[in-house]
Amino acid sequence: LSIIAFLELLDAGNKKGNLVQKSQVIATSSIGAFNRVPLAGYAYGGSKAGVVHLMKQFATTLVAYDVRSNVIAPGYYPSELTEGMLKAKEETGFTKAEVPLQRAGNEDDMAGVILFLASRAGAYINGNVVVTDWGRLSVLPATY
């Protein structure tokens, strides 16, 4: 668990006192953590749910060190896992039944979430999951 390995560094960052907000760990999971249909397989969904729960536990444990822990759960973004599907969707596009916004996420979408969590705007957030899927979970059997 690399978070523990960096705990001294995160704590040292807080002690410098030159930041508006405290140190933070931001992990990436997936909406697969909440989807009750194993579209990418049982191991994938289970491992992503594990990341979410681990980060929530760290959010509680690391309070003593003034370190926040949050998770980003993206939907369809370009990756090795989605490469084939996104290539096929270049011609047909997404339907509202698949993704209400009818497009995959892009670098700007992800950057916005990361900047929000890392900025003063997200400085009061700890132990939360930011789902960035433009409604994908809302059209699937899911718990979030």
Q: Which of 23, 29, 62, 21 is nearest to 130 (CA)?
A: 29
Query: pLDDT tens-digit profile of 59-82?
Result: 999 998 889 999 999 987 878 877
Q: Which of 143, 144, 25, 139 is nearest to 76 (CA)?
A: 139
Domain boundaries, given as residue ranges, for the chain:
11-136
- Which overall architecture, per CATH, does domain 11-136 show? 3-Layer(aba) Sandwich (3.40)
3-state SS, residue 67: coil
pTM for this entry:
0.84
Residues taking part in catalysis? 29, 44, 48
Please, what sign has the CA dihedral across residues 30, 31, 33, 37? negative
Average pLDDT estimate for 117-121: 92
Report which of residues 50 and 23 the model is more confident about: 50
Q: Where are the alpha helices (DSSP H) in 20-69?
A: 42-61
Specify the DSSP class assigned to residue 74: E
